[in-house]
Each structure stands twice: as structure tokens, then as C-alpha cells.
Amino acid sequence: MRKAENTNLMQRSETIRPLRLWPLAAMVLWITTALAGGREPIAPLEAPRAAPRELIELGRDLFHDVRLSKNDSVSCAHCHPLARAGVDGLRVSVGVEGRRGLINAPTVYNTADQIAQFWDGSADSLEALVLEGPLQDPLEMDSNWPDALAKLGSDPVLRARFEQLFDDGLTKENVARAIAVFVAGLVTLDSPFDRWLKGDEAALDARQKEGYALFKSYGCIACHQGRNVGGNMYATMGVMGDYFADRGGELTRADLGRFNVTGRDSDRFVFKVPSLRLVVRTAPYFHDGSAATLEEAVTVMARYQLGRELPEAHLQAIVAFLKSLAGSHPELDPAP
């Protein structure tokens, strides 16, 4: 089995500053990896921690329960359909009464051990995401906890399930706990790349191996590493160029990223680095959904984060590698 770097290669810490000197950081990481005896900076995904089956099933039912929304029309699965890799495929999501959101919906797969939740990292856990996030957002579910709990509590069967699992029964904290436990189990396993990491040379073809080598040598690995190939640090969107000026259009609140959480000028345009584990299935890309295809996303990343223009052969090899990162899960449709 190949040795892998610690998943916390970039520790989850508010003291870590967003990565701005991309090529230098990539070089340091690459040298460190080489000196460590050839260990890879990406680790295989591991099966989630066991949880009571009844709690997982309750969380799954709540994830699909439209009663969490104001008009009983939107569930968590509305923006995060599990069969479709946990994304709705829209540039920005649509909530109750057709209200358009401000940001692209990230996948809910492989989220449990990420540094934080949401693009701006405004929720420090899955429980916090449920408690503070979409349910109360006027562009998403537009509800509130007293109303949602009243509707759920009017269901005697559901209420009994909570009473069986929790000493204090149906509370917003227990709703959040159940959904969080279910989402934490959404880990995609047995990808071709993970099989290769574990020693199966035939799991990747020559082009995918070339793509991985290029992914490392260009410096993509500086931010996309660990088990999730991302999700464990923050970075500025547009290190080597003015992404937002070139994109055009008015800046939105969502474009400000971490600034909305910290209020620090240095955190403008800073976002959580997304996991690439299911990137082949989660178009469109970036917080603004501006890249329609994976090839376009890789090209934009190379240009604005690395200051490089990729030859077509290199682009296609990297895309081939990225496709090898996708594993499987019982909730995930095996065919895109």
C-alpha cells in the first residue's frame, strides 16, 4: 500500500491564512512530500464511523422532509439530490416559491471531516449547518424552528421516533443531529484512484497517472490534498489574476466569501477549497457556477490560481485523473 500524507496536511485552524503565494506553497509541499519518502499527499477515503441504524434512517427521512420549509415544497434533497451526486446542477439553487439563491450548491458527499461547511465556512459543523443555514434563509426554505418543529411534532409516528432515540425527544438540536449523522455517512468509497493508492497499479490507466503527476507538478496539490482532495483550507479566488473583473457582472455578497464571516479585508474573495472527490459529477463549478464544464473549470483554475495556460494534452490528462477520484455510495446513482 502506498503511504499517504496525513489528512490534516493543512490543519483546520482559523489562524491559517488564505493561500496567496500558490507556486511557492506548491513547491514547498512537493519538496516536503518527496523528502518524506515518496508518500502521497492524497489519502484514501475511509468508511464513516458507525452510527445507530435508526438514527441514520431518521436523518435520511428528515433530509427529504419538505415540512422543514415554509410552504412544504423544499427539502434538503431539493438542492442536494443524492442520486445526482448531491447537487442540483444549477448555477444557483432555487428555493421556495422559485426564489433564486446567490450561490452554487456544493455537494453533500464527503463533507463530515472538512474544515467547515458552506463556501464561506460560516458553519463549523454539520449540526451548525442545519441549525443556522437553509431552513431560515428566505431564499431557500424560508422557515423558522418553531414552525418547523410544530409541523414535525404533529406527526405522532415521527415524534415517537425522536422519543425513542433522544431523552428530550423532538428538538431542533436533535433534528440537526439526526441529519448530520446521515450526511456524515455520505462517503464515496472505492474510487479507482484510492485503489491505486492502495497498490492496485491497474486501477489507473497511463493517462490518469500522467494527469496525477501533472496535477502535482503544476501545483494544484497545494490546496487540493488530503482525503477529500480539498475541503481542509481556505484560498483566495484569483491569486494570479483578477478573476472577478474578468468574469464581469456585479459583485454579489456571495462573491465576498470569508469576508462575510470574519469582516477582515484580507478575507475578501476567500473561499473554502472544495473537495474534488466527485468533481466529475458536480457541474457547474465554483461558488458562482460560472464554469459549465470540468475542462473549463480546470482551465480557469490554472489561469487564476497558478498563472499558467495548460496545453490541451495536459488539460485532458488532468481531467482524466480527476475522473478517477469518484467513488461509490448506495445513495449515488452509479451512472452520471
Encode pLDDT of 243-271 as tens digits.
999 999 999 999 999 999 999 999 999 99
Q: Whole-angstrom Cα distance, residue 276 to residue 258?
A: 20
Read off the pLDDT of each residue in 86-105 and give the average, rounded to a whole number: 97
The answer to whether position 5 is within a domain reads no
pLDDT at 16: 38
Domain membership flag for residue 8: no
With a cut of 80, say whether residue 7 has pLDDT above it: no
Kindly state the average pLDDT of the residues 144-155.
Answer: 98
Task: Check whether residue 150 and residue 213 sit in a common domain.
Answer: no
pLDDT at 121 over 80: yes
**pLDDT surpassing 80 at residue 162:** yes
140, 296, 309, 312: the active-site residue: 140
For 118, 186, 231, 235, 254, the CA distances from 121, given in Å and listed in that order, are 5, 19, 10, 11, 12
**Known catalytic residue at 54:** no
Q: What is d(CA 79, CA 90) in angstroms, rounded to the nearest whole number?
A: 9
Is residue 26 over pLDDT 80? no
Answer yes or no: is 214 within a domain: yes
Domain that holds residue 70: 53-184
* Boundary residue ending a domain (168, 184, 200): 184
What pLDDT shows up at residue 34?
Answer: 46
Residue 171 predicted with pLDDT over 70: yes
Model confidence over 77-88: pLDDT tens digits?
A: 999 999 999 999
Domain annotation covers residue 157: yes
Domain assignment present for 145 = yes
Q: What is the CATH number of the domain that holds 246?
A: 1.10.760.10
Residues 156 and 218 in one domain: no
The predicted model gives 214-221 an average pLDDT of 97
| Cis amide linkage into residue 311, ω under 30° from 0 | no
Residue 328, classed as helix, strand or coil, is strand
Confidence class for position 39, pLDDT limits 50, 70, 90 = confident
| pTM for the full predicted model | 0.90
